[in-house]
Structure 1
């Protein structure tokens, strides 16, 4: 048996097998390194002049072709190595089950240990470093196998489409990757919740319209321009705001904005005589913006016009609410007025869990305050979410369960939900209970 093993033909084939196993390990390690490599670090290295990083980025942008080329090469060398090993065992033990079983056992162990686990363990420990090392040879291999891989991709994509699977659809974005990383660090304690919320705010602000950030008109203090001058002054000062909308006859007829600074200047000139105030003369022009304006666009407009206050109107020109520069900034940095208070005004936490929430509070603010994940695509406010999902105007005492949360209507005024109790639960979605 030893003499048969030492025959030149068998030694040559075993040498080729070892060579192929090295290639198999190279393919396996390259696959792990390239798929685990950080796009951000590759981009930074490319900007610093590392051409290999540019190749890695290019390969990552064509993942199907990359994986197809690597898997094709890996399977080719593994199959060839298995065939040669079987031939060696046949020469030694002769035709039969012993040769086949021995070749299968040996190749399984060799491929598992030296061509899979070992190279992938090394690659996962330092993916960026290894990705840079293998970038050039893998790029050449991918180009060589490109025609075959393209045919394979056509067959695979066609088969998946038969089952209704769209291979071109990808809902995972770079922003989602950042959010996932931040959430992971939050769980590990490396990132504070406030910092997480600020990062989320920066990532999501581009998706918002002003109607999602504005203060609704029912929460806006407005002043009738025809009121006595002394009463106008008292009401302006009582609001606690620096800018107050002024209307004539009807609250939809906003004719200007009173600025506290201008009111105080007028009082100073008149020697403190409240009755001498002429609101129509000192009020500033109102700035109206459509409710569909993006928050980012409005932020730039605030910067360009050096204004901090705008009135939001719908497509018919009806007043929807007001928007300030502070409202936009709070979407990023959180509550500016009380930097130590994580709770949103209108959200009362309960000791037993959950919260009593005012209906006009935005879903985004509830999620931020309670660290929940209520959807905000179809409704801006928490009351709007319940109405949208239930497709009805609920009554006091009714309860609903959606998205893993339970909503109980506590207070209602006509068709408006004033307050509701929301608790996290595992109940299935249901329309209503009495």
Structure 2
């Protein structure tokens, strides 16, 4: 009868070993996102409150579990050895040790931890309260171990023993990429979410239509010429300048011309463009586009003029340009769909010089620096220190850059050939 009781106690200790092992794995497998989800779904659940309390002090929780696990494992091994000696003598010591190593390894570690990994949430709910009670009971011992850990951290030059891990942008991007790989998130959705993360770091000068590409009209332009330009370009808002493009005096809205045109057509009164233009909104080219979007929405503005550090016109940015940074290119009925780049081979691309450095790096998996310029054309100007000639070849790292088209001192089209790494099959041999 006593023997049966002792065997039951031994089995109980093995079960407790499994309990502590499963608790450790389950609780520390939960991440912040899972916790917030659980907390939101079951706000007043006492089990959830216990989980949060335990993970708020992970060091205390871990020490409690390890002390408990160590205690039951040592006690179980000692009891098994005692029973073996009692039954078969001293020869039972080795046998008991072998059996207990296998039993604790399989049933006290591998099996419970494997189950806890795949069912962390449910197991955590069941073990949290008992572990919390155990940690309260072991509080004096935990304080001793915490003090010892602080001494060891200090000895090894570690300043803090309680570094709370927060969810980082990298964590979320990794999660999103995993969702894409699993088919939960579409490619377009993945790209859009990534764009949102980059949105707050993007400046106006990275998105704006540059000064040289702006469609503007002079304040003394005749009505007929303006109508022809609007009909040709399809723009609904056009900046108006006086004397020079650096002196933008307002924005012409195409719809404002309708009433003026009717009046002019019937009465042939003198047309004065300055009377119908609206006030222009100016923004520094280094302003973040998320801040600009707030202004666009608050003041119901659709277009802004970007200015450089000297107060000159740097470019133009619209609400559409800002939105496209998240949702991608928006092609309306007036836009001509222009191919920014074309892959000729896996290592060769023909591209517009206005392509961003970030994009060309992504396409060819190269590392062109972004130091003071945003586009491939800007990089070439900076690299040469002059205006390149047509068909000029430039060697940069493992790339050959060929300037295919230059119009009015402006680089238009570029070919980039990335050198492929040589293999034994394509390495030229020596002549005999």
* 1:319 paired residue number: 313
Distance 1:158 1:83, change over 3 A: farther
Distance 1:206 1:324, change over 3 A: same
Indicate conservation of the 8 Å contact 1:378/1:385, yes or no. Answer: no
Indicate conservation of the 8 Å contact 1:233/1:274, yes or no. Answer: no
* 1:293 paired residue number: 287
| Residues 175-215 of structure 1, C-alpha deviations (whole Å, 9 max, x = no match) | 43332233223233343211211222233323333333322
Give the gaps of 5 or more residues in structure 1.
Answer: 1-5, 429-434
Distance 1:192 1:371 in 2: 23
Indicate conservation of the 8 Å contact 1:383/1:417, yes or no. Answer: no
RMSD: 4.3
| Residues 353-399 of structure 1, C-alpha deviations (whole Å, 9 max, x = no match) | 5533333223555588x5979799867734289579x9775974334
Distance 1:94 1:167, change over 3 A: same
Answer with 1 or 2: which has the greater Rg. 2
* 2:186 paired residue number: 192
Distance 2:198 2:298 in 1: 22
* 1:408 paired residue number: 400
Q: What SS does the aligned partner of 1:335 have?
A: coil
Distance 1:386 1:227 in 2: 36
Distance 1:233 1:82 in 2: 94
Give the gaps of 5 or more residues in structure 2.
Answer: 423-432
1:46 and 2:39 equivalent? yes
Q: What SS does the aligned partner of 2:306 have?
A: strand
Please point out which of 193, 218, 224 is paired with 1:224. Answer: 218
Q: What SS does the aligned partner of 1:398 have?
A: strand
Indicate conservation of the 8 Å contact 2:340/2:351, yes or no. Answer: yes
Q: Give the C-alpha shift of residue 284 in structure 1.
A: 1.2
Distance 2:161 2:376 in 1: 36
Indicate conservation of the 8 Å contact 1:237/1:260, yes or no. Answer: no
Distance 1:242 1:194 in 2: 29
1:26 and 2:22 equivalent? no
* 1:398 paired residue number: 394
Q: Give the C-alpha shift of residue 245 in structure 1.
A: 1.6
Indicate conservation of the 8 Å contact 1:42/1:54, yes or no. Answer: no
Q: Give the C-alpha shift of residue 150 in structure 1.
A: 2.9
- Aligned ranges 1:172-211 → 2 under 5 Å: 173-211=167-205
1:214 and 2:208 equivalent? yes
Distance 1:344 1:376, change over 3 A: farther
Distance 1:344 1:167 in 2: 54
After TM superposition, the score normalised by the length of structure 2 is 0.76
* 1:250 paired residue number: 244
Indicate conservation of the 8 Å contact 1:43/1:54, yes or no. Answer: no
After TM superposition, the score normalised by the length of structure 1 is 0.76
Distance 2:330 2:83 in 1: 76
